[in-house]
Amino acid sequence: MRCRWRVFGILIASALAGCAGDPGASTQRGDSQFTAAAWRESLGDSLRRDVGVLADRYPSRSVLSPDRLEASAIWLESRLASMGYEVQSEAFELVRPNDAPIPVRNLYVEAPAAGDDDRWLVIGAHFDTVEGTPGADDNASGVAGVLALASYFRMNPQPIGLRFELYTNEELLIRGQNQMGSLRRARAAQAAGDEIVGAIILEMIGYYTGEPVTPMAERFAAQLGVSLPDNDLFLAIASWESARGLAERIADEWSGPIAVLPVLTPVGEPMAVRSDHRSYLRVGVPAVMLTDTAEFRNPHYHGPADTPDSLNFTHMAAAVDSVRGVIEAISADPEIRKESHSVAQAAQESERVECRNAGKTPVVIMMSATGESRTLAPGESDVATVPLGSAVKLAGIGSLRLGRDTLVFSADRVAPPVRVRVQGQTVTRSFTRGGSAYIDRDGPIVLEIDRVEIRITRPEPSRSR
């Protein structure tokens, strides 16, 4: 019965998607090519409609609201099918400690190469949200961009294949090894032996004001030694140094009124890999995120005011059109310079992490490198050596990502506010649900996060950049 109802739901959603006015949606492959000019003419309206459906009809499309998350997947499936694609559904289960698993799925479609080249370029975005937000910018904007590009390239085959992917559980509301939808997709492609020249992830691409950048963005850029434009009419190309060849290629091929700014950090730093491109980096594929910089620009990040009317669809359309041009340029010449920096090299660098429960109640900790959890009784400690870039998850408190020069703490989105203090530094902050912060490090560091003391050191000899 469940299967029959799901098919019925897809048929109804397909009818609705077919009425969305997507340019070229009913045109089958083999008809006259859908020109960029014609596609561009209705692009803004198409983006507005798709963002509106996701944000207004399916808010809180999160793993904490699995029925709504699946309903959004059904609509996306029908939206892609209405373009003439055969939609692939990649189902798996999110494992929860002491609770039933949650069935979730990724979606992807393929626009095969015009010739016999078997290489692929991936364009992807996550469609899930945190709980309690419509998720217009994060990340209906990225999904709408992927849908628009899939529509255009359905009619315009390129010299290499294009794979358009939509991921679940990017927000990692349920954490653990291999739980991220994009990591499942990247590892499946790796296991299949697919040759992927690069992955371009669209992550929050719709918020622009034309005003000067925020002070928080200026501080963040100063930490990285990056000079920002005079206003916020730009997207960052964010990743690790291992993807410099792809990032610079995108910047070189980019044109249009929305600028781009490469923001690359050393391999292992968490600051520039807070989205699905990290998954492809982990399997050795050059990957970048195109982003409006999230909370560094958008004051509605992860909140109830992240609605369609807060976005600028004119600027968003210009950015998506620029991505189209980049895809065509890379497809025509898909040789991407490979860097000497590698994720595997970063994984060889390790951290010694000691966690001590200084509170009066038990605390559950989990290391992302192993996926294993342990309960610390009051006064009890645990020590582990983990690869650079790993995360320490404190159940009901938050998580700490270990970077070479920076630590990133993210408070749990469903827990009460927490307090973080860095010993030896004048850093004491209280975090509301979902808040995050970057903590500079120079040698060993001790943090007090709520009732847990975390001491982080590097095994000798210390490594330089």
pLDDT tens readout for residues 387-399: 777 778 888 788 8
Poorest-confidence range of 324-333, 397-406, 429-438?
Answer: 429-438
Examine the pLDDT at 175 and tell me if it is beyond 70: no
Structure tokens at 169: 């559980």
Is residue 335 helix, strand or coil?
Answer: coil
Whether the CB-CB separation of 60 and 129 falls below 8 Å is answered with: yes
Give, as one character, the DSSP assignment of residue 308: G
Question: Which tens digit of pLDDT belongs to each residue from 211-260?
Answer: 999 888 888 787 777 889 999 999 999 998 889 999 999 999 999 999 99
For residue 105, pLDDT beyond 90 = yes
pLDDT of residue 345: 57
CATH code given to domain 2-332: 3.40.630.10
pLDDT surpassing 50 at residue 8: no
Q: Within its chain, how far is the Cα of 452 from the centroid?
A: 29
* pLDDT tens-place string over residues 299-348: 999 999 999 999 999 999 999 999 999 999 999 999 887 775 555 555 55
Q: Which residue has the higher pLDDT, 293 or 366?
A: 293
- Mean pLDDT score, 141-164: 97
Q: What is the pLDDT of residue 77?
A: 98
Tell me what pLDDT residue 109 has: 98
The percentage of residues in the chain with a pLDDT greater than 70, rounded to a whole number, is 80
pLDDT of 429 reads: 60
Model confidence band, residue 152 (pLDDT cutoffs 50, 70, 90): very high
Is the CB of residue 108 less than 8 Å from the CB of residue 86? no
Q: Is the pLDDT of residue 25 over 60?
A: no
Model confidence at 22, pLDDT cuts 50, 70, 90, reads low
Give the list of residues 6+ apart from residue 464 with CB closer than 8 angstroms, or none.
Answer: none
Beta bridge partners of 288: 200
Q: How many CA atoms lie within 13 A of 261 on its CB side?
A: 21
The mean-pLDDT minimum among 19-28, 287-296, 415-424, 440-449 falls in 19-28
pLDDT band, residue 10 (cuts 50/70/90): very low
Please determine, for residue 417, whether its predicted confidence score (pLDDT) is greater than 70.
no
Compute the distance between CA of residue 396 and CA of residue 399 in angstroms, rounded to an integer: 9
First and final C-alpha spacing in the chain = 58
Tokens 């010739």, located at residue: 115
Q: What is the DSSP letter of 296?
A: G
Burial class (CB in 10 A: 0-12, 13-18, 19+), 7: exposed
pTM for the predicted model, two decimal places: 0.77
pLDDT greater at residue 96 or residue 156: 156
Q: Where are the domains of the chain?
A: 2-332, 349-457
